[in-house]
């Protein structure tokens, strides 16, 4: 199934997994909206992606924690690219600290980005996906959405919450022809966690999974996908 001519918004697409997903979509001739919090990073990413010379690429700064900015993001996609077919909720942050040490503003940054931001994006996008007669929402969760770790309570809470959100959402929108998949990666080789590991999943491998899902026959949907490094460090 060809994705050519579809329109996608990928949140947090100036680096890491989101950037790899945006590039993979562009290579499939999808028109893509790039976004993250800083316009300078967005402009740089749009310029680099345009060199791929396939799908159209535009960009706008958007902090997914701000409902007004998310409204502006989705309006921008509709105005610039004529509609919306695919939403990839990828933007995410983490802080590693004990509950006693985690600052309240760090708690809010994690929950507001990883969970509330996804709600805002879906809330604004779903009416437009319905207008198109269907579409696809891919949420980037984490294995930390099913496995708790000390020093990660806020991140765990956000990703456990996101898993529940995704699974309620797919039941709500399936009869509108909107499919929802929730990808739960283990460690991925990005700036997110410090230091190059050598064994972690590559961002391009998450992007390949997204493309596989989008191209899968519309009669079925994979709702929860756990992706692990084959050979993580034994230590």
Ligand X SMILES: NC(=O)c1ccc[n+]([C@@H]2O[C@H](COP(=O)([O-])OP(=O)(O)OC[C@H]3O[C@@H](n4cnc5c(N)ncnc54)[C@H](OP(=O)(O)O)[C@@H]3O)[C@@H](O)[C@H]2O)c1
Between 61 and 80, how does the x/- string for binding to ligand X read (CB under 6 A)?
-xxxx---------------
Tell me: does residue 118 bind ligand X (CB under 6 A).
no
**Long-range interactions of 172-175: CB distance < 8 A, separation 24+:** 173/126, 173/129, 173/137, 174/221
Tell me: does residue 169 bind ligand X (CB under 6 A).
no
Tell me: does residue 116 bind ligand X (CB under 6 A).
no
Q: Is residue 120 annotated as a catalytic residue, yes or no?
A: no
Give the span between the Cα atoms of 140 and 92, in whole angstroms.
9
Q: How far is CA 180 from CA 82, 109, 115, 150, 184, in A?
A: 22, 25, 15, 30, 13
The angle formed by the CA atoms of residues 132, 136 and 142, to the nearest 5 degrees, is 160
Give the span between the Cα atoms of 130 and 208, in whole angstroms.
26
Minimum gap (Å) between residue 218 Cβ and ligand X: 26
Tell me: does residue 31 bind ligand X (CB under 6 A).
no
Exactly one of 3, 7, 8, 17 binds ligand X (CB under 6 A); which one?
Answer: 17
Catalytic residue among 120, 136, 155, 175: 155
Tell me: does residue 98 bind ligand X (CB under 6 A).
no
Pick between residue 142 and residue 181 the one whose CB is nearest to ligand X: 142
DSSP state letter for 113: I
Give the span between the Cα atoms of 218 and 45, in whole angstroms.
31
Tell me: does residue 36 bind ligand X (CB under 6 A).
yes
Backbone angle region of 198, left / alpha / beta, with phi > 0 → left and psi within -120 to 50 → alpha: left
Exactly one of 7, 8, 10, 18 binds ligand X (CB under 6 A); which one?
Answer: 18
Q: How far is CA 126 from CA 85, 119, 148, 174, 195, in A?
A: 10, 11, 31, 11, 37
Minimum gap (Å) between residue 176 Cβ and ligand X: 25
Region 132-161 residues binding ligand X, contact defined as CB under 6 A: 140, 142
Stretch that binds ligand X, among 21-29, 72-80, 100-108, 185-193 (CB under 6 A): 185-193
Minimum gap (Å) between residue 102 Cβ and ligand X: 16
**Would you tell me which residues interact with ligand X (CB under 6 A)?**
11-12, 14-18, 36-38, 41, 62-65, 90-93, 113, 117, 140, 142, 185, 187-188, 190-193
């Amino acid at each position: 199934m060809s994705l050519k001519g579809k329109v996608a918004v990928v949140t947090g697409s100036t680096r890491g997994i989101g950037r790899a997903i945006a590039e993979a979509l562009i290579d499939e001739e999808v028109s893509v909206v790039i976004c993250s919090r800083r316009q300078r990073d967005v402009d740089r990413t749009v310029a680099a992606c345009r060199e791929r010379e396939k799908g159209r690429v535009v960009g706008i700064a958007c902090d997914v924690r701000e409902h007004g900015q998310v409204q502006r993001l989705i309006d921008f996609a509709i105005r610039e690219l004529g509609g919306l077919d695919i939403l990839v909720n990828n933007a995410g942050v983490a802080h590693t600290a004990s509950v006693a040490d985690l600052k309240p503003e760090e708690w809010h940054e994690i929950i507001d980005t990883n969970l509330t931001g996804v709600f805002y994006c879906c809330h604004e996008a779903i009416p437009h996906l319905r207008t198109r007669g269907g579409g696809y929402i891919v949420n980037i969760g984490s294995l930390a959405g099913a496995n708790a770790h000390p020093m990660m309570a806020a991140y765990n809470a956000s990703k456990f919450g996101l898993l529940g959100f995704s699974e309620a959402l797919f039941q709500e929108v399936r009869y509108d022809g909107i499919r929802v998949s929730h990808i739960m990666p283990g460690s991925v080789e990005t700036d997110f966690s410090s230091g190059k590991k050598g064994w972690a999943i590559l961002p391009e491998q998450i992007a390949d999974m997204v493309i596989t899902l989008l191209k899968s026959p519309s009669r079925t949907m994979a709702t929860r996908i756990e992706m692990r490094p084959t050979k993580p460090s034994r230590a």
